[in-house]
Amino acid sequence: MSTQTARTQYEATDPMPEEYRDLLIRLLRIQADTETYLLFPKGWAQYAHIANLAPTLEDRVKVAQYLAEETRHGLIAYKLLRDLGVEVTEQEFEGEHRNLYVFDKWLESWTEFGLFNFLADRVGRFQAEEWIDSSYLPLARVAPAIVRDETGHGNAGFYNLRRICKTPEGRADVQRLLPQWYATALDMFGRSDSRRSVRYVELGLKRRTNGEARQAFVREVEPLIRELGLDVPDVTSLRKYL
Ligand SMILES: [Fe+2]
Ligand SMILES: [Fe+2]
């Protein structure tokens, strides 16, 4: 019962067109870039540092929960690649091999972790939402659980920032750090003029192009930034690419 709009769907072991496979592996490598960080020692060192900055014991437990969820995402991303015959190595998490620069920055403070959760984990949710009805069925299957976890991380970031913003010093600190983190989060969506991002949509690997997803993110996050009593940075400032 095929229709004109029905797309071809694939399992890992199905033969697939070369272009489809190349784009799929590229997409999964970018996912691995954000998610398999915690499968390697450098990622753990960063989050051991964060756990030790947690202001309360309850916050420390929440960091542990966060780590459990993100490490599981790492394993999922790793397995998705391995099932296609691609291995992820620790070297991919260094400098020029990285697709995203978001993890290059060492998180210094609890405030910075809050911004990271609020913005970068929220982008993680937007990315996973792209795959809910992906033509690559293994990706479609893992999407809902990742969306659920990343929704929790983004919300936790918002609540932590709200607590920090209750004092004038805290709010000033968030405002000072916000422009760079906002730009980094917006850059995570990739270039708006990417021809490849259009092909992802045409092949059913994603729902939206880079630019469309980024605009939806801006619409969601700007009112939240204002709710925190902060000034919204210009969407074009400090961006590495548009
Ligand atoms: Fe994640
Ligand atoms: Fe995340």
How far, in Å, is the centroid of ligand 2 from the Cα of 146? 8
3-state secondary structure the chain: CCCCCCCCCECCCCCCCHHHHHHHHHHHHHHHHHHHHHHCHHHHHHHHHHHHHCCCHHHHHHHHHHHHHHHHHHHHHHHHHHCCCCCCCHHHHCHHHCCCCHHHCCCCCHHHHHHHHHHHHHHHHHHHHCCCCCCEHHHHHHHHHHHHHHHHHHHHHHHHHHHHCCCHHHHHHHHHHHHHHHHHHHHCCCCCCCHHHHHHHHCCCCCCCHHHHHHHHHHHHHHHHHHCCCCCCCCCCCCCCC
Ligand minimally distant from the alpha carbon of residue 33: 1
Which of 3-17, 194-208, 221-235 shows the lowest per-residue confidence on average (mean pLDDT)?
Answer: 3-17
Q: Evaluate whether 105 touches 184 at the Cβ level (below 8 Å).
A: yes
Q: Evaluate whether 186 touches 214 at the Cβ level (below 8 Å).
A: yes
How far, in Å, is the centroid of ligand 1 from the Cα of 70? 5
Q: Which fold has domain 18-227?
A: Ferritin (1.20.1260)
pLDDT per residue as tens digits for the range 204-227: 999 999 999 999 999 999 999 999
Question: Average pLDDT, stretch 124-152?
Answer: 96
pTM value > 0.85: yes
Average pLDDT, the chain: 90
Ligand minimally distant from the alpha carbon of residue 119: 2
**Interaxial angle between packed helices 18-35 and 195-202, expressed in degrees from 0 to 180 and rounded to the nearest 10:** 110
Question: Residues of the chain with pLDDT > 90: what percent?
Answer: 75
Whether residue 6 is predicted with pLDDT greater than 60 in this model: the reply is no
pLDDT per residue as tens digits for the range 87-128: 877 776 665 556 677 777 888 999 999 999 999 999 999 999
Listed by start position, the domains of the chain span 18-227
CA 143 and chain centroid, separation: 13
How far, in Å, is the centroid of ligand 2 from the Cα of 84? 23
How far, in Å, is the centroid of ligand 1 from the Cα of 6? 30
